[in-house]
Structures are given as structure tokens and as C-alpha cells.
Amino acid sequence: QGSRREELRRLRSVLADTHTFLTNQDGVGLQLPAEVNKEYESLQEELKILGATSPELVSQFYHERYQEQLKEGPSASRTLVLNAAFTETGLRVHVVQGPGEQAGGVLVKIRVEPQEWFPLADPCKTHLAKGDPAVFNEIFRFPSVLQDHLGGEQGGVLTLQLRTPRLLGSSVVHCEAVFPLSELPRIPEASVLSIQHLRVPLTRPWKLTSYKPLEALKSRALDKIAVDFLKVLSERWEPRDSSIQIQDSQKLRATFARASSVRNSMKGGRKMLTYKYVAENKLSLP
């Protein structure tokens, strides 16, 4: 399958070179009709997806999410205030504040994606903040991320998810901000305090089946990277509310049942000791 992808990559490259040669305006270039150019661009996009590795498809998905985010603009109803940059010591992310969601408070979880390109960049999260706005004012560093991944066509991204922790099970993810690493400035460590804060829109993805990179990942049932990523996305953005409630109630019932069993065992143990003491001392119970 890897060799097949490489063939598709080469085909895409040959088509691009041929198109550039035929339409080169510096020479005797052809003026192709608009519909031909549209078909060419569509074919290039299809080959780009078919020839991509699974981490590259993850990258393509997040770059589509970034384009959706740009359409919202800084005037979006929910925004995250932050700044991020590369310095000599790695990637630095300053999470300033975000919207408050509910009385339980919110936190921000930061990841560098795709994880396969940045295996040493462990996810980080802010403290739980209450109020609206929720003020975090925390700085995170990823020393292993000194630059964007050079192997991918589009590169890595920074994802920041606004979450509310739950007593049982995983957190509720409200929305997220996506920021390509290629968009981040590179500055000296001594100048980090001069970075201007950014107001980044917080959005949720459309239905996951509407993204072509994810549909391509679905066809890779034997690819662990593809399967694991799709599972995480599904649990994050399309949880079944009823099943979550059922799981929570089942966990609570199991917890109460264990507690009741322990209490009964303790009572039974005390009762047996009482009978044993009475028998040994030939006493009579009241």
C-alpha cells in the first residue's frame, strides 16, 4: 500500500509539472478554459488525499478546520486569547483567557498534531477556571518542537480545546481553536513579552463524514493510526448523550453496589465475631 501511495504522489507531481509547462505565461502558454482548470484542481485534491499517509490526512483535516475557523473571524461569539511562537528553546504557548461555559468551570487542553510527527510533545492542560471570561494566564513549553514538521505537505498544527471535566468518564469538549505551526513567528526568547495576543475563534467541526481526509482514513481499517484517530474524534465530537448517561449511571450503581457490599461484609464479620465470642465464653445472647 505504501508503494501505491508513492505512485499516486509521483502521478500528482507529473500532472502538476505538465500543467505548469502548458500554462506557462512566460512562454507560449495555453489559456485553458475555467472548467478545465477546475477539473484539474479537483483531480489534484483527490490525488493528494489518495497518496497521503495517515498522519498527512490528519494534518489535512486540521487544515480544513483552520480554514473554517478563518471564516468565523475574530468577531466570533466564542474566542480564545493566546499567543504562541517558536524560540530557541522550542514552542512556547501562552493561554490567556477563554469563554466561561458553566458553573463547573473550564480548562484548555493543548496538543501538537499529528501526534506521530511530534511523539515527544505530550498534551498539556490549564488549571480549571471559573467565571466568564475564564482567566488562565498560563505558559506551556514544548521543547521537543523546535520547528514545523518538514515531511508533511501542510505541516503540524496546534489544537486548543475548551473542556469541562466530568466526575466519571472523559471531559466534555465544547469547542476548539486550530493554529498551523507554519503561521507561528520565530523570535528570540528575550522578546517573548513583546508578542501580541491573538483572539482566535473557537469552533466545532461539521459532521465528521463531511471531511474527505476522514473518509479516506475510514478506508484504512488495518491502519492503527487511522483507526485510533477516528475513534478519538468520534468520542470527542459525536458522543451519544444517552449512552454517556447510561454509562455514568452504571458506574454510579456499580460504585454504590461495591460500597454496600463492603458495608455488609463488615457487618457480617462483626456478627460472626460476636457469635464466636459468645460460644467460647458460654454466654447467652439477649
What is the structure's pLDDT at 267? 57
Place of cell 504562541: 84
Query: How far is residue 66's CA from residue 157's CA, in Å, rounded to a whole number?
Result: 9
- Integer Cα distance of 57 and 51 in angstroms: 9
Instruction: Measure the CA–CA gap between 80 and 61, rounded to whole angstroms.
Output: 21
Q: What is the mean pLDDT of residues 259-283?
A: 56
Helix, strand, coil shares, percent, the chain, to 5: 45, 20, 35
Q: Which residue is listed with cell 459468645?
A: 278
- Mean predicted confidence (pLDDT) in 143-161: 87
Peptide bond before 185: cis, by omega within 30 degrees of 0? no
pLDDT of residue 44: 74
- Is 95:111 a contact under the CB 8 Å cutoff? no
Judged against a pLDDT cut of 80, whether residue 51 lies above it is answered with: no
CA separation for the pair 76, 70 (Å, rounded) = 10
19 pLDDT tier (thresholds 50, 70, 90): confident
Alpha-carbon dihedral sign for residues 203, 117, 6, 230: negative
Distance CA 65, CA 245 (A): 29
Question: Three-class SS of residue 220?
Answer: coil
List, for residues 85-98, the tens digit of each pLDDT value.
999 999 999 999 99
Query: In 47-67, which positions are buried (b, 16+ CB within 10 angstroms) versus exposed (e)?
Result: bbbbbbbbbbbbbbbbbbbbe
pLDDT digits (tens, 9 = 90+) for 110-121: 999 999 999 999
Query: Strand 124-125 and strand 79-87: pairing?
Result: unpaired
Place of cell 473554517: 68
CA pair distance 105, 134, nearest whole angstrom: 8
Kindly report the pTM of this predicted structure: 0.74
Average pLDDT over residues 260-267: 56
Q: What pLDDT, on a 0 to 100 scale, did the predictor assign at position 149? A: 85
Cα→Cα distances 135→19, 82, 92, 258, Å: 51, 11, 18, 39
CA distance 220 to 202: 30
Q: Indicate the Cα dihedral angle 270, 272, 274, 280, nearest 10°.
A: -150
Q: Which of 2-11, 59-68, 253-262 has the lowest mean pLDDT?
A: 253-262
Q: Pick from 177, 190, 175, 184: which is nearest to 142 by CA? A: 184
Q: Which residues pair with 139 in a beta bridge?
A: 94
